[in-house]
Structure 1
């Protein structure tokens, strides 16, 4: 099979198209003939040598794919009744940049009704991440009076961002989002958010103004660093800050007294190294609560550009430039 490997840590040019043996599925796993692979920020970190695969995972980058089930173990842990020949999208721990990939069957979901395989390849990493962090860890739900809680998304035009905006909006929550220019702000607004250009506006002031001074209930943060102190100020009482990336730096200073006085929660997570059982539980929740929203056209994939495998380096360059809105996908 053709695959894209990282020849050595470095820039986008270290990605190279090679021939590899087709991987073999083990117990509880399936082999997918890949039609398309999603490109994600963790792939960039892995290419740079800053995000090693978990033990036992493929050394190839790629955390999500869509394609056809061609082999594997369908006898157990198959609550969705998936079978050989079916079209699925899947969350992986690695190995997605290839014409064939292995995934636990319990981390596979049927391609949502009405979507192409290219569109489906853009879903797993973002939807698993958003559901786990916004709705499980962040507990985005209802106020005591039954009104929906609000969400602030940092980096609203990213793949994670457009997913969080759409999903929270579809479920009836007020959504605010930051972006780096007016064009990206308009894209966020088209998806259902009130947008804040963080280069010209203060997101703390805007979030408080839009909530009558109360603050937002949940913040999904991919920046960290100096943003954390400001985000705590933007939270409502009993608000939750969920950190899923540290693009702004690993170190943050906080006002601990404010955290105590306003009963704030600071949490975070990474997904790649979590157990199959943990990810299978998320897959079940997505199938039950989120996949029907695609059939109802309340959710839609947002794909910025599709690349040929030999252009994987260019896809990574676009990812690093942050010039995109939505997802980048490799098509095999």
Structure 2
């Protein structure tokens, strides 16, 4: 089979021939039809001290099952987070991380919706917005952000604001249901909001916190780091909440499954529509990564073996 690999930090991605992996206990082997490219993987390729396996969200057909697999069968269409080599013709997937794909959805729909949508769903749940409250989403044109904008609207937000890096993304974000769109470099981000879902971190934490009204909540789910001054929380009785999807998947599987079912329901009803910026061949994985690195994507970037 074909597989994408690289040999040094920031080094070029290339195709190689590799044996088809064997599914271990509790795993299924998937013929991969689509791979969702994520910012954390792109960052690790550029920054990690040692080369990593190109993992990620995959979708495809189950072709074999390891010992102990009880829920899935050969021929099932599934999507989930692959911790091994995901940029490949075949990849293994833990049964616990696999979500069946309904007949109404394609593999591309699945990788654009499920993992990114679960992160957006969880971040919004952590913010605990009341009906009618205002929600601001940073990286609003990203794979997660564009779904968070739609989920905030579906959950009854009174006003939804998207924050983006450039003016070329504003029309896209508004088309998702946002009432307004602001740029990171703007002097102010308009009327204060009750919740901020922040996927950027770093230097953007300050403006994101300043955008909150008194008693507002900022949910940080970025791998970008950053520092918040305690005084900035005290003066407005504001809160910062950390959110990580992996903790929910491992520690609260029943909640994870509930969110997955709700996402598919919203998709089926047309309340949430995943947007795909582009589909790249396996040999063009480097081009897919470049789109993420340049922050030029409008929605999800997908690699298709």
Query: TM-score, normalized by length of structure 2?
Result: 0.89
1:182 pairs with 2:167: yes
The unaligned stretches of length 5 or more in structure 2 are: none
Count of equivalent residues: 304
Q: 1:267 aligns with which of 235, 241, 249?
A: 241
- The aligned residue for residue 137 of structure 2 is 153
The answer as to whether partners of 2:184 and 2:204 remain within 8 angstroms in 1 is no
Counting only pairs closer than 5 Å after superposition, residues 182-261 of structure 1 correspond to structure 2 as: 182-198=167-183, 201-204=186-189, 206=190, 208=191, 215-245=192-222, 247=224, 250-254=225-229, 256-261=230-235
Which deviations, in whole Å up to 9, do the C-alpha atoms of 1:21-58 show, x marking residues without a partner?
Answer: 222222222111111111111121121233879xxxxx
Q: In structure 2, what is the Cα distance between the partners aligned to 1:107 and 1:279?
A: 12
Q: In structure 2, what is the Cα distance between the partners aligned to 1:75 and 1:149?
A: 46
Q: In structure 2, what is the Cα distance between the partners aligned to 1:65 and 1:86?
A: 14
Q: In structure 1, what is the Cα distance between the partners aligned to 2:76 and 2:218?
A: 39
**How far off its partner does 1:189 sit?**
0.5
Q: In structure 2, what is the Cα distance between the partners aligned to 1:303 and 1:132?
A: 21
The CA RMSD over aligned residues, in Å, is 2.5
1:37 pairs with 2:35: yes
The unaligned stretches of length 5 or more in structure 1 are: 54-58, 209-214
Query: TM-score, normalized by length of structure 1?
Result: 0.83
Counting only pairs closer than 5 Å after superposition, residues 1-332 of structure 1 correspond to structure 2 as: 1-11=1-11, 14-50=12-48, 59-73=52-66, 78=71, 82-135=72-125, 137-140=126-129, 142=130, 147-173=131-157, 174-198=159-183, 201-204=186-189, 206=190, 208=191, 215-245=192-222, 247=224, 250-254=225-229, 256-271=230-245, 274=247, 277-278=250-251, 280-332=253-305
For residues 251 and 121 of structure 1, do their structure 2 counterparts lie closer, same or farther at Cα, with a shift above 3 Å needed?
Answer: closer
For residues 260 and 298 of structure 1, do their structure 2 counterparts lie closer, same or farther at Cα, with a shift above 3 Å needed?
Answer: same
Query: Structure 1 residue runs of 4+, over 6 Å off?
Result: none
